[in-house]
Amino acid sequence: MNSELLDDLAVARLSRPATLPGGLSRRRFLQLAGAGAGAATLTPYLSALEAFAAPPVGANEGILVLIMMEGGNDGLNTVVPTGDSNYYALRPQLAIPAGQALPVGTGYGLHPSFVKLKARFDQGDVAIVHGVGYPNPDLSHFSSMGIWMNGWAGGAQPGGATGWIGRYMDGLPNAASESLYGAVIGTSVPLHMVGSVARASGLPQDIGGAFGIDRRDANDVRMFDAIGAFSGGASGLGQWGDLAAKVEHDTLDLSQKIQPAYQGTFPDDDLGRQLTLAARLINANLGIRVFSTNIGGFDNHSDEAGGHAQNLASMDAAIEAFFTTLGSTWKNRVTLMTFSEFGRRPEQNDTIGTDHGTAAPLFVVGPRVKGGLYGAPSPTTNLDSNGNLKFHTDFRQVYATVLDTWLNADSKQVLGYQFPNLGLFDGGPGGGSTTPATRPHRRRRKRV
């Protein structure tokens, strides 16, 4: 029985409804603490739950925006080894002609769709990390994406599977009670955004018709305010009654806070919309530290050329839209990073596509990035026994670099192992030195 999953199904199985941490997506990560009934005592997260908010991002604090490329992005056609004759031999119909690739250094060029990204590379704002992967590569979408999302390198994980950004958020002040340290657009929070106590919030795709948004009619306003007032006194129905009321109140609050970000026009495509929203929400300084977005369609087993080109063009436009929407005061505090569950096989298949592979390059983009090529490229002449590229940079080394230098975290604690820094940044966020400036230790209580 073929249990291979389509890329969007795979990601769906690695996501959970935008609720509390602790759920697990597969037996491999399943480790239940206590009986499987699911803890329901009022955790610190809930008893101290503030309005859906987070302390505002400081002048020297970094924000990370992730782009998850679902399906396994074909690295070889993304950062094209234009000087590699073997690449052209393996892909007679699929290789990107050297003349079409956009040069990013000797022997390499970006896929022609990446016009804007190439311009940023020339400005020194794009780090291309070659050959990113991990040992004993798993060619299953589900398993490999789980590995990338989990990012733990410290052996058995007590308390069950969490994601690397989730664990980063766990270390932030009042992690258990702040729900906007991390955000995704949509109803499912992917595993990498789920920690032991912290988790990202799912914000809506569209807020137009959302309950509580439109306050133009007096009847609606009276209703919204009355619902908000349910939490104004003890419910008399115990802690769950109180919390149910509070969550409704806070959601109505949140909808007002994020409403401005949803006004105006958006790009037509999904990633464009997500990234434009992300930029606007960052501008609103709601305290979001990490934003995760996603774009599907990279599982190009057949007729790869057209679909891949279109996907990368969407990405290019969306990334451009992101940076142009981002307010100027945020420029030096935002870095964007791509990732995918694996690359693809060097040799094209019979249907002018590619099958699941292993290592691939990824991009780290932003004004504070030290642009250039990093890591060692995976040669197409030295493949593994499956005919796949060998990795050279463990993906967790990229995470460690971002965690330590950009997010001012302790990567050893978040990842369970000390990975060496790749030196991807000019310095810390905000133009400061690499030694991080102070983080706010006192939460400013925001109550609207």
Per CB under 8 A, residues contacting another protein are: 1, 3, 9, 12-13, 16-20, 22-27, 30-32, 34-43, 45-46, 52, 179, 187, 201-204, 209-212, 218-219, 222-223, 226-227, 229-230, 232-245, 247-248, 250-251, 254-255
For residue 430, give the nearest of 59, 72, 16 by alpha carbon.
Answer: 59
In the chain, DSSP finds a helix count (H) and a strand count (E) of 13, 14
What span, in angstroms and rounded, lies between the C-alpha atoms of 25 and 91?
36
What span, in angstroms and rounded, lies between the C-alpha atoms of 81 and 78?
9
Nearer residue to another protein within complex by CB, 88 or 211: 211
Nearer residue to another protein within complex by CB, 31 or 329: 31
| Residue 105 Ramachandran class (φ > 0 left, ψ -120 to 50 alpha, else beta) | left
What span, in angstroms and rounded, lies between the C-alpha atoms of 170 and 172?
6
Q: Output the DSSP codes for 48-65.
A: T--SS--PPPPTT--EEE
Nearer residue to another protein within complex by CB, 230 or 417: 230
Nearer residue to another protein within complex by CB, 61 or 250: 250
Nearer residue to another protein within complex by CB, 124 or 240: 240
Nearer residue to another protein within complex by CB, 7 or 320: 7
Report the relative pairing of strands 372-374 and 126-133 from DSSP bridges: parallel
Nearer residue to another protein within complex by CB, 119 or 210: 210
What angle, 0 to 180 degrees and rounded to 10, lies between the N-to-C axes of helices 304-325 and 115-123? 50
Residue 48 beta carbon to another protein: minimum distance, rounded to whole angstroms: 13
Residue 245 beta carbon to another protein: minimum distance, rounded to whole angstroms: 5
Residue 201 beta carbon to another protein: minimum distance, rounded to whole angstroms: 6
Beta strands in 281-397 (DSSP E): 290-295, 334-340, 360-365, 372-374, 393-394
Residue 231 beta carbon to another protein: minimum distance, rounded to whole angstroms: 9
What span, in angstroms and rounded, lies between the C-alpha atoms of 355 and 150?
24
Residue 275 beta carbon to another protein: minimum distance, rounded to whole angstroms: 20
Tokens 């501008």 sit at which residue? 283
Nearer residue to another protein within complex by CB, 14 or 403: 14
Nearer residue to another protein within complex by CB, 139 or 247: 247
Residue 214 beta carbon to another protein: minimum distance, rounded to whole angstroms: 12
Residue 177 beta carbon to another protein: minimum distance, rounded to whole angstroms: 13
Residue 74 beta carbon to another protein: minimum distance, rounded to whole angstroms: 26
Stated as kind and residue range, the H or E segment containing 103 is strand 102-103
Residue 175 beta carbon to another protein: minimum distance, rounded to whole angstroms: 16
> How many alpha carbons lie under 13 Å from residue 150 in its C-beta half-sphere?
24
Residue 448 beta carbon to another protein: minimum distance, rounded to whole angstroms: 14
Nearer residue to another protein within complex by CB, 135 or 233: 233
Where helices occur in 231-296 by DSSP H, the ranges are: 238-258, 270-283
What span, in angstroms and rounded, lies between the C-alpha atoms of 144 and 210?
35
Produce one character per residue of 54-89: b if its CB has 16 or more CB atoms within 10 Å, e if not: bbebeebbbbbbbbbbbbbbbbbbbbbbbebeebbe
Produce one character per residue of 205-231: b if its CB has 16 or more CB atoms within 10 Å, e if not: eebeebebbeeeeeeeeeebeebbeeb
The tokens describing 148, both together, are: 């990338």
